[in-house]
Structure 1
Amino acid sequence: MNWPKHGANPKYLFNALEEPYPDKTIDFSANINPLGPLPVIKKNWQSLFEEISVYPDPAGLNLKQKLSNETGLDTQEILLGNGGAEIISLVGRFLADKRVLIVQPAFSEYEQACKANNCNIDYHQVIAGSWDLNIEVLEKKLKNTDAVFFCNPNNPTGLYYPDAVVKELLLACKKQNCLLIIDEAFYDFVYYYESITKYILEFPNLLIIRSMTKMFAIPGLRLGYVLGDSKIIKCLARFQPEWSVNAIALKVGEWCLDSENYRKETLHLIMSEKKRLFAFFHHLQFKVSPSETNFYLVKDPTLDNQFPMFQFLIKRGIIPRHTMNFPGLEGKWLRFAVKSPSENNQLMEAIQQWKSDCHLYL
């Protein structure tokens, strides 16, 4: 079967499975803030209409300045992008024909961007279940590597590697003259997150990719940015089309950065719901990844491949993220986003029903 490469857009999944699309669905495959977009966006949506009749600022200076204030970096060390996906594509072009190491499991776009640019790709596999990064083995692979893609917090596991691990990896990469690309698309969902932007000044071999679509629930607008040494940022900018980020996204991005209370409310909700969800899964003796962000992996230990449970859930309109295209997982786990309390209740009800009826489907 040709599995969809991403979560979200669930109709593609149902088409691939040749299943009828349910009247009601809850998409647990999209890791978006359950609070939804900022109220200020809806309140001021009409004012954004004026933005569509003029060209956007190609440099996005107002938003860059706000990001500069938040990160402590110069605007020359920031590049805006049409979502994290465009940034990854630009990095792929920058690495054309280079030797790249991808820490797996990870977002599939790293490999896709590298293959499109004729990179020589190697992999470092984190073993499912123990989730040990095994940094000593990873460091040995750096001798023949020009760049490393490292997703932190990791997608799809939700694991977050703290500052000490990042610093150790940075030092090892610097010693081997290797670029370390850290994808922090979900950093702002981590309650005890330790900022690594301070390392940009110390390590010119560090790039940090961030997305604004997840925390602020604006995936339809597409907005992200990359932080790094000004020389690398300048190189990446050369590959980017003019007016890559639209005017509405630029304005909304400014509002997002002024929403500290919204971010705090989100973290409180995610922490509270994860505690409730994990207690539920542990009670059923399911395995759950020790996620520090707004999604997690789940495994019914009575199954090697989770497809029977996956199929059971989607028939009821509960849509998990399959893991068929995550190396090391390959269908042995399912990924779920942390949604609203009522939606999480519906998930737990469906899982409870699965446990009661699963013998009928095996």
Structure 2
Amino acid sequence: MQLPAHGANPRRLYEAMNMDMPSSYIDFSVNVNPFPLPDEYMPTEQQWVRWMSVYPEERSETLRAIIAEREHVTRSNVFVGNGAAECIYLLAQQFAKKHIGIIEPTFSEYERACETYGCTIHSFLLDEHGQPPIDQIIERLSFLHALFLCHPNNPTGTVWPKETMHALLKAAHDEKVFVIVDEAFYDFWLDGYSVSSDLPMFDRLIVLRSLTKMYRLPGVRLGYVLAHEYVIKKMMEKQPPWSVNTVAQQLGERLLRDDEFVRRTKVHIASERDRLFTQFAKLGYIHSSSVVNFYILQDETMTLFPFLLQHGIVARHTLNFRGLAGKYIRLAVRTKEENDRLLSYLRRWNM
């Protein structure tokens, strides 16, 4: 049985599980914002037509300038890509045939991208609380050229103390090791910290961001990188021209000018996540200590996953996350009504 490698593919999942797809289902496997963009952000029909009829800026110059101002860097420190995935693969290309560390369980595309370019992978496993083996990682840095980590982490939603992160960044800087911190879910972390403010201190720090998750734009594809200008220059040398389409550029320019939608989403996600976790505790379910819009729930016997599927609750399996072995499922924090439907089936399963 070969299950889809990522979430957001329910039809393929039901086929792989040899199950009939129900007429109504909720996709908890996709970890994007459950709320649509407000109408004021959406372009008119005439704007859509105009955007699709002109070439995009070759290197997203206007959007890069907006991001630079927002992140307090210069435009030469910003790269805009066709989704975070393009950024990951272009970075892996820079590290071709080198020794690369990956802190796991985490997003599988880091390993896949690095293997595409002939890298040797060194894995470091988070503990049961989602914390890194920091001493082991620091001890092994001298063998590495670069280190990938996701923070907040996918699929656990967990984060590290700021002191731990800074200890790693300092040690990597001393060993001249690149550290790629994927902050694709940073926008969902209420009162969280970003390492982007550390860029002036650590010239081998690379920060990856995504607009796909918060702004619910997986079909548009838009992500960016913050890094030293020589890293950005190398990425641009390998990026095909017009890689980011006009619609993505225009939406990015609009969305990054207003933080209110992000603020409202953060507050809702934090409130709903806390409510869910309170109910899980009452029902005896074990979950990760997530701070974002998804979490993993223990499924030791690997039977909760098909039960939920049967009732139209699509979870994300963890068979391809190193260290989880399918004994957890990943679920998104969605609207109150949708979360209540999930809880109703978890109560039935727990009876």
| TM bracket (short chain) | over 0.9
Question: What does residue 243 of structure 1 align with?
Answer: 242
Deviation of 1:162 after TM superposition, in Å, equals 3.7
The runs of 4+ residues in structure 1 deviating greater than 6 Å are none
Pairing 1:306-325 to 2, within 5 Å after superposition: 307-325=302-320
SS in 2 for 1:201: coil
Question: What does residue 176 of structure 2 align with?
Answer: 177
Q: Which amino acid aligns with 1:131?
A: G
- Structure 1, unaligned runs of 5 or more: 357-362
CA distance in 2, matches of 1:196, 1:13: 36
Deviation of 1:138 after TM superposition, in Å, equals 1.2
Question: What does residue 61 of structure 1 align with?
Answer: 61
Contact 1:162-1:194 within 8 A present in 2 as well = no
Question: What does residue 153 of structure 1 align with?
Answer: 152
Pairing 1:201-280 to 2, within 5 Å after superposition: 201-280=200-279
Structure 1 position 337 matched with structure 2 position 332: yes
Contact 2:152-2:159 within 8 A present in 1 as well = yes
SS in 2 for 1:296: strand
Deviation of 1:139 after TM superposition, in Å, equals 0.7
Contact 2:129-2:289 within 8 A present in 1 as well = no
Question: What does residue 187 of structure 2 align with?
Answer: 188
Contact 1:38-1:256 within 8 A present in 2 as well = no
CA distance in 2, matches of 1:118, 1:297: 31
Residue deviations 1:157-194 (CA, integer Å, cap 9, x gap)? 00012432221111111111110010000001000211
SS in 2 for 1:197: helix
SS in 2 for 1:287: coil
SS in 1 for 2:200: helix
Question: What does residue 280 of structure 2 align with?
Answer: 281
Contact 2:92-2:113 within 8 A present in 1 as well = yes
Contact 2:130-2:159 within 8 A present in 1 as well = no
Question: What does residue 90 of structure 2 align with?
Answer: 90
Question: What does residue 347 of structure 2 align with?
Answer: 352
- State, as a whole percentage, how many aligned pairs show the same letter: 37
CA distance in 2, matches of 1:164, 1:75: 29
CA distance in 2, matches of 1:39, 1:169: 43
Contact 1:187-1:193 within 8 A present in 2 as well = yes
Question: What does residue 78 of structure 1 align with?
Answer: 78
Deviation of 1:56 after TM superposition, in Å, equals 0.3
Q: Which amino acid aligns with 1:332?
A: K
Question: What does residue 135 of structure 1 align with?
Answer: 134
CA distance in 2, matches of 1:326, 1:350: 25
Residue deviations 1:215-272 (CA, integer Å, cap 9, x gap)? 0011110000011000011001111111110000101011111221111110110011
Question: What does residue 19 of structure 1 align with?
Answer: 19
CA distance in 2, matches of 1:135, 1:56: 43
Contact 1:102-1:150 within 8 A present in 2 as well = yes
SS in 2 for 1:344: helix
Q: Which amino acid aligns with 1:25?
A: Y
TM-score normalised according to structure 1 size: 0.95
SS in 2 for 1:21: coil
Deviation of 1:294 after TM superposition, in Å, equals 0.6
Question: What does residue 10 of structure 1 align with?
Answer: 10
CA distance in 2, matches of 1:146, 1:74: 26
CA distance in 2, matches of 1:112, 1:178: 20
Question: What does residue 360 of structure 1 align with?
Answer: none
Residue deviations 1:36-89 (CA, integer Å, cap 9, x gap)? 234224353541220111100012122111111110010100000011111111
CA distance in 1, matches of 2:314, 2:205: 36
Q: Which amino acid aligns with 1:44?
A: T
Question: What does residue 322 of structure 2 align with?
Answer: 327
Note closer, same or farther for the CA distance 1:169–1:353 as it changes in structure 2 (3 Å cut): same
Between the two proteins, the alignment pairs up a number of residues equal to 351
Contact 1:170-1:180 within 8 A present in 2 as well = yes
CA distance in 2, matches of 1:28, 1:341: 13
Question: What does residue 40 of structure 2 align with?
Answer: 40
Q: Which amino acid aligns with 2:282?
A: H
Contact 1:101-1:149 within 8 A present in 2 as well = yes
SS in 1 for 2:306: helix
Q: Which amino acid aligns with 1:336?
A: L
